[in-house]
Structure formats: C-alpha cells, structure tokens
Amino acid sequence: MKLIPLLPYLLTAAGLFSSLALFVTLKREIRLHLFRQKTRIEDMVARLDEADRVPQPALPDLAPDLAMMPVPAPLRAGLNLNTRVHALRMLRRGEDVSHIAAALGVPRREVELLIHVQSAGKARAVNAGGDQS
C-alpha cells in the first residue's frame, strides 16, 4: 500500500530511463554507421588514387586524324508550332517561299512541305464539308 502513491513517480522514472537508453543506443548506431561510411569513402578514395597512378595506354596512330575531323553540327528542331504559325501568316501575306525560309531560319524544303501539307488539309476539309451536305 505504501507503493501506490509512489507508482506514478516510479513509472515516470522508468519511462525516462528507457528513453535515455534508447537515445544512447541510437547515438551508438549513428556513430557506427558513420564509421562504416567513412571507411567506405576512404576505400573509394584509395582505389581512385590507385587508378590515377596506373599509366593510361597511348592513343593509336589514328588520333591525329581524329583531331582533324570536323564535328557535325547538332540537329536543329524543325518547324515548331510558333514557327509554323509565323510561316503560314507570312504565306497568307503573299511572301515568297525563299524569303519565309530565310526569315525563319528553316530550310526551304521544310517551308515547301508545310505549304503542301496545309493545302492538302484544306482540300480534305473542303471535300469533307461537301460530303456532309
């Protein structure tokens, strides 16, 4: 009967001690994990240093020829939506195909293809509208 009034204090003390034990255990695990990571990093650095010390094989005799080869230009994007709309506006204004290609910085053949596709789309729309009536 004398322990009943002390029971809340004993339980609180037990909870605090268990929390302290968990905290200490967690700190120990973190320290162990940090040590393992540090060891792995040091091993990687040692392997990289060793790889740097190994002499690299000399390039074959073709290397001077490769240095003189021109690098191809990266592929450009074709007619995106903005460029296509701009080209169609210029076409409606009566501008020449070569002028449109030069102004937009696209090949003349792409502008001609755009005109062909646009005219085929209009013809198909006109035919489809006539069939419905």
Per-residue model confidence as pLDDT tens digits over 14-49: 999 999 999 999 999 999 999 999 999 999 999 999
Report, as an integer, the average pLDDT of 111-129: 85
Distance CA 106, CA 98 (A): 10
Report the pLDDT value the prediction gives residue 61, as an integer from 0 to 100: 56
pLDDT of residue 80: 80
- Cβ atoms of 63 and 53 closer than 8 Å: no
Alpha-carbon span 45 to 39, nearest angstrom: 10
Q: What is the pLDDT of residue 123?
A: 84
Distances (CA, A) of 47 to 34, 36, 51, 52, 129: 20, 17, 6, 9, 73
Give the domain 81-132 fold. Arc Repressor Mutant, subunit A (1.10.10)
pTM across the whole model: 0.39
pLDDT for res 133: 46
What integer pLDDT is reported at residue 57 of this predicted model?
67
Backbone angles phi, psi at 2, to 5 degrees: -75, -20
Instruction: Say yes or no to pLDDT of 59 above 60.
Output: no
Whole-angstrom Cα distance, residue 100 to residue 113? 13
DSSP H stretches of helix in the chain = 7-53, 63-68, 81-92, 97-104, 108-132
Instruction: Tell me what pLDDT residue 130 has.
Output: 63
pLDDT in tens, 62-119: 555 556 667 777 766 666 888 888 888 998 999 999 999 899 888 889 889 988 988 8
